[in-house]
Structure formats: structure tokens, C-alpha cells
Amino acid sequence: MHLELKNYMEELVLQKIDAVMAANRDVCGCGQCRHDIAAMALTILPARYVVTPRGETYTRIKALEQQFAVDIIRALTESIEIVKKHPHHEK
């Protein structure tokens, strides 16, 4: 069986980032800013590593999603504010 080491928090941040960015209309939507926001949010949030058979991630993610939903949205919102003020490219 192929086992995989996975940070569920990364999965959850990527699931939520587009909705949170859509709610902040004046944030830049380019790939650079989106990745910077994801990286910053994942630095704020605790990592949640698990060993899992490849592909079988979704039932565990559901439980963690409910536990961390508020923290994830808060971390994404903070990260958006920072990237908005200091994008890694010309405005």
C-alpha cells in the first residue's frame, strides 16, 4: 500500500482560499498573490500531519474542517490584508 504524509491544513486552506478571496474584492487575484496568501495562512495555522493511504483523505478532512473553519478563515483574512498592502509585484 502506498502511504502518504499529508498536511490536512494545506488541503483545507486551498479549499477555502477562493471563497475568502472572492469576499475581499480589492485583493489581487493573480497566481503570485494567491500563493503568497496560502503560504502566509499556512505559516499562521498549526500543521496537522497524518499518514494516509493515497486518496483516502476526505472523511478526516470533514472533521478537521469543522474544528478549524473559523481559524482558517481568520488566517486567510489576515494574510489577504498583508498581501494586499505588500504584493510581491508592481501594482
> Which residues would be at the binding site for Zn ion (CB under 5 A)?
28, 30, 32-33, 87
- Residue nearer to Zn ion on the CB measure, 8 or 79: 79
Which helix (H) or strand (E) segment holds residue 6: the answer is strand 3-7
Gap between the Cα atoms of 53 and 43, Å rounded: 25
Instruction: For the CB of residue 42, give the shortest distance to Zn ion in the complex, in Å.
Output: 18
Cell of 62: 470533514
Burial grade of 37 (CB within 10 A; 0-12, 13-18, 19 or more): buried
- Residue nearer to Zn ion on the CB measure, 32 or 43: 32
Instruction: For the CB of residue 33, give the shortest distance to Zn ion in the complex, in Å.
Output: 3
Instruction: For the CB of residue 34, give the shortest distance to Zn ion in the complex, in Å.
Output: 8
Paired strand residues for 3: 53
- Residue nearer to Zn ion on the CB measure, 22 or 30: 30
